[in-house]
Amino acid sequence: MNTRYPFTAVVGMDDLRLALLLTAVSPAVGGVLVRGEKGTAKSTAVRALAELLPEVPVVAGCRFSCDPDSPDPGCPDGPHGNAPGTSRPARMVELPVGASEDRLVGALDIEKALAEGVKAFEPGLLAAAHRGILYVDEVNLLHDHLIDLLLDAAAMGASHVEREGVSVRHAARFLLVGTMNPEEGELRPQLLDRFGLTVEVAASRDPEQRVEVVRRRLAFEDDPAAFAARWADEETALRERIVTARKLLPRVTLGDAVLLQIAATCAAFEVDGMRADIVMARAATALAAWAGRTEVTSEDVRQAALLALPHRRRRSPFDAPGLDEDKLDETLEQFKGDEPDEDPEPDGPGDGGPGGGGPDGGGPDGGGIPPQGEGPDGPAPESAGAPEGTPAPQDAPQDAPQGSGAGERGAVKAGEPFRTKVLSVPGLGEGAAGRRSRARTEHGRTTGSTRPRGALTKLHLAATVRAAAPHQRARGRSGPGLVVRRDDLRQATREGREGNLVLFAVDASGSMAARQRMSAVKGAVLSLLLDAYQRRDKVGLVTFRGRDAEVALPPTSSVDAAAARLEKLPTGGRTPLSAGLLKAHDVLRVERLRDPSRRPLLVVVTDGRATGGGADPVALAARAARLHAAEGTASVVVDCETGPVRLGLAGALARELGGTAVTLDELRADSIAGLVRDVQAAGQTTQTAWRAA
């Protein structure tokens, strides 16, 4: 299907459409990150934006889309001189999640470079996206090193390719748009900060609006060309408004009073660095230009803050997104100075603005985006509001009595999280890039060389020279220089860190149900979840109490989903330890089939008191533990036993698992410096079995 869904036919989602249009008016804003649940038309809206951008003048034949009026003096296809110009539609280039570094930045022909001294460069996606849109769907699943390259290019406006002494640079200025589903994992705060604006989207809960969405989508699928034609006038008008706003943008002034409001707002919400201030200033300027004004107002600053600050104020993945709008209004009012009078019907693109009203309807007054509630299909209901933040957990119940026979209790609040010791899987893996366990990776320190399997990506120069040197006479080389053939090329092998699957098996029985103890246990698990987030792990949660165990959260990259399930975890009943271990075994078995390269780390949180699950619960638990040990699963038992008399049952369980036991106090990063060595040493004996499994 070549026809794209029209931008002006999108129902609701005012913030998303406004953010995309602002980046179209002012690419310096820095791009948009769209966060939302699946099936909310995130990708549809982004793809539709490309049709609104004006055509791009380019140098004929230039692979890097140089502007004929000001060609890049360092363009690899240049110098262009008086080369003829042409124009083409603005491109939207999609970056697949599984793309390689060479596909993103371009590839050099290493063999030709070594043998002939020629820079043979094949441009990548960054070059193709120059002066257009670079769209990354599921940006949170992209490898960290690709995100680093991507955001560096977006910030610098250029891409640099350095390969074994061969250097290529080309311009790479584009609108960066990423979409993500938070349930599949978060971006690191450093990377969140590199996106100029962020928008949270959710499906409308208004039945009438949902009906309108379905009606328009079905009409589009039945006849895409006819549907697009019905919205052609609105699309053309909105495209013209973008062009007009771009021309007005250089004339927009940012007064001192408005700058003070921007600075005060960023300071009030305690955002790090100065990027937020700069992005807010650019966004507010773009809002004024979009409204057809030449001066920025407090309302522009307020709207810019709602788009530029929410993702920058999150200190951890467990913080609820969004801003306190009452606090925002108080700050703006406190630092409000003299402002220009607003013209209710300004001249320019904001007057009767096009794009989104129906055949008889006009655009909005002022600086808002065109209301999408009307169009060729008739009026549609108002857009649903933004999703509410995560509600605070209810107060915990009174202390539950200890003992295996305690009844079910409500959820207990987690204690304050802390920095934990590094728990890692022993041996050398080959899993997804991360920050936990040692692994063979594409990036890291060079440890050796090997013959390339497929395309060469990381040349080991010394090994290549050593392989080619003995054959120079046979190849007719008698003087200086070196004849290098493909068989001589050697790929560098590198060692870095991988992300693992951290599966928590949490004892929620009556013996753990004392309020103070369970709060500490939840705080410890929350701390480990935060550590897993920072190390790019997948996490899963198995709980056991009463008569059985259950998978509270299947393995996922979303640690905030795991934290939410943990917060609501009830306690009480007997301790079916064997059932919990067997359920964890089933989860790991399925995950090995799904992702064989991702090695697991089992974290069992219990006091070790097996009191349920069969006639001899202790023996059954030991047998289930030995099942994990036989398959080489690295494991850690967090010993939650308290009191002056301790039975050491968690330590015995750890020995059966072939792992190690740590107490809650020892889990903290400032205690027992040898913890990591203990975990790795305990796992060495089971590494052979793991590889066989």
CA distance 290 to 349: 7
* DSSP state letter for 381: P
CA distance 609 to 621: 10
CB atoms within 10 A of CB 258: 25
Please say if 275 is a catalytic residue. yes
For residues 54 and 235, the answer to whether their CB atoms sit within 8 Å is: no
CA distance 255 to 566: 48
CA distance 76 to 79: 8
For residues 244 and 47, the answer to whether their CB atoms sit within 8 Å is: no
Q: Containing H/E element for 498? A: strand 491-498
CA distance 329 to 324: 9
Alpha carbon 315 to its chain centroid, in Å, reads: 15
CA distance 297 to 291: 11
The structure tokens listed for 72 are 């890049």
For residues 132 and 90, the answer to whether their CB atoms sit within 8 Å is: yes
For residues 142 and 149, the answer to whether their CB atoms sit within 8 Å is: no
- Rounded to 5°, the CA angle 138-140-144 comes to 125
Q: Which residues pair with 156 in a beta bridge?
A: none
CA nearest to 405, candidates 574, 546, 548: 574
Q: How far is CA 390 from CA 42, 203, 245, 530, 663, in A?
A: 22, 16, 37, 18, 31
For residues 23 and 245, the answer to whether their CB atoms sit within 8 Å is: no
Residue type, 448: G
Q: Which residues contact 491 (CB under 8 A, 6 or more apart)?
A: 449, 450, 451, 452, 453, 456, 457, 458, 459, 460
Cα radius of gyration (the chain): 29
Which one of 275, 313, 440, 623 is the catalytic residue?
275
Q: Please report the beta strands in 220-261, taking only residues with DSSP state E, as ranges in sequence order.
A: none
Helix locations, 376-459, DSSP H = none
The structure tokens listed for 430 are 């080959």
Per DSSP, the three-state class of 242 is: helix
CA nearest to 77, candidates 98, 59, 53, 94: 59
For residues 398 and 408, the answer to whether their CB atoms sit within 8 Å is: no
CA distance 124 to 614: 61
Cis peptide before 340 (omega within 30 of 0): no
Q: How many residues does the chain have?
A: 693
For residues 26 and 284, the answer to whether their CB atoms sit within 8 Å is: no
Alpha carbon 45 to its chain centroid, in Å, reads: 19
CA nearest to 563, candidates 587, 528, 536, 598: 528
For residues 504 and 423, the answer to whether their CB atoms sit within 8 Å is: no
Side by side, the strands of the sheet bearing 491-498 are 433-441, 491-498, 445-450
Write out the DSSP string of 167-180.
Answer: EEEEE---EEEEEE
Residue 500 has phi, psi (to 5 degrees) of -115, 175
Residue 351 burial class via C-beta count within 10 angstroms: exposed 0-12, middle 13-18, buried 19 and up: middle
Give me the active site residues, please.
275
